[in-house]
Amino acid sequence: MDNMNKLFELNSKGIKVYNPDCLDKMKKSSAIVLNTLKEVESKIKAGLTTKEVDKICEDYIKSCGARPTCKGYQGYPAASCISVNEVVCHGVPSDRIIKDGDIVNVDVVAEIDGWHSDSSRTFMIGSVSDKRKKLVEVSKKAMEIGIQSVEIGKDLKEIGIAIEKYVLSQGSFKIVKEFCGHGIGMSMHEKPFIYHFDPKHKLGKIVPGMFFTVEPIIVNGEEDFKELKDGWTTVTKDGSDAAQFEHTIYVGYDGKVHILTDG
């Protein structure tokens, strides 16, 4: 980049390409997100409501001097998205009680000093069926394979191609194609969109300075979903289960891919 005093430049597709000095800023928000999910892991259990889990997230993020980005975003009412079993994503925390055998995705975004990071995990509660365990395993592996495919000079579509190839090899699992990963940094949602399937067209080259998320949602039934009356929560139409894992990554000027929300 010609002017290293700038935080970022826009490439030909309108994607922010950040200056190397921005990495430390993103590491700070990413550590908060990572540790929020560790806090959830230590406390989530059967008998809690999803509202109570959301409070764990909000309290921890605020204790770090950060802000839960989701709260108030386009009117969203909570600090996190909590999606249980058949909930595909964007589950609004409620009085729903978490039960033994449930799978629960917790998705959090934190902002500190103007920088946002995003991550989610699917937690298995108590004695989970083999069917649900396999779904969680495939979901996590799909994200990992997507991240492993990131390489400077490749087209962004290669991420989705790698994920789709893996998921299709695992049997009857499907990808919910309508929900994508995204650029992130000074805003929660930036370009580019990160598809988790083969989009059949080029999306733009992967270059140093990109921050983005990889976050495939996998279901063990049909991928069709519907939105509930709250305007946010989406559920599978056939009642099948969904699972998701997500990391914020950085494409480094050192040629390496850094998973910022892992640890």
pLDDT in tens, 190-214: 999 999 999 999 999 999 999 999 9
Binding residues for a divalent metal cation, as ranges, are: 107, 118, 182, 215, 246
Binding residues for substrate, as ranges, are 90, 189
Res 3: pLDDT: 44
Query: Which tops the pLDDT comparison, 45 or 13?
Result: 45
Segment 164-173 shows an average pLDDT of 97
Mean pLDDT of 102-108: 99
Interior CA angle at 98 toward 163 and 91, to 5°?
A: 50
Q: What six digits make up the tokens of 149?
A: 């495919």
User: What is the pTM for the complete model shown?
Assistant: 0.96
Q: What is the pLDDT of residue 13?
A: 82
Residue 20 has pLDDT above 80, yes or no: yes
* Structure confidence at residue 219 (pLDDT): 99
Phi-psi label, residue 146: left if phi above 0, alpha if psi -120 to 50, beta otherwise: alpha
CB-side neighbour CA atoms (13 Å) of 189 = 7
Domain spans of the chain, in order of start: 18-259
Q: Which residues are annotated as a binding site?
A: 90, 107, 118, 182, 189, 215, 246
Mean pLDDT of 97-107: 99
For the domain made up of 18-259, give the CATH fold. Answer: Creatine Amidinohydrolase (3.90.230)
With bands split at pLDDT 50, 70 and 90, how would you rate the model's confidence at 227?
very high
Q: Report long-range pairs for 255-263 (Cβ below 8 Å, ≥24 apart).
A: 255/152, 255/208, 257/147, 257/150, 257/151, 258/23, 259/147, 260/26, 260/27, 260/30, 260/117, 260/211, 261/30, 261/33, 261/34, 261/117, 261/118, 261/119, 262/34, 263/31, 263/34
Per-chain mean pLDDT for the chain: 97
Mean pLDDT computed over 8-15: 86
Report the interhelical angle of 157-169 vs 130-148 (nearest 10°): 150
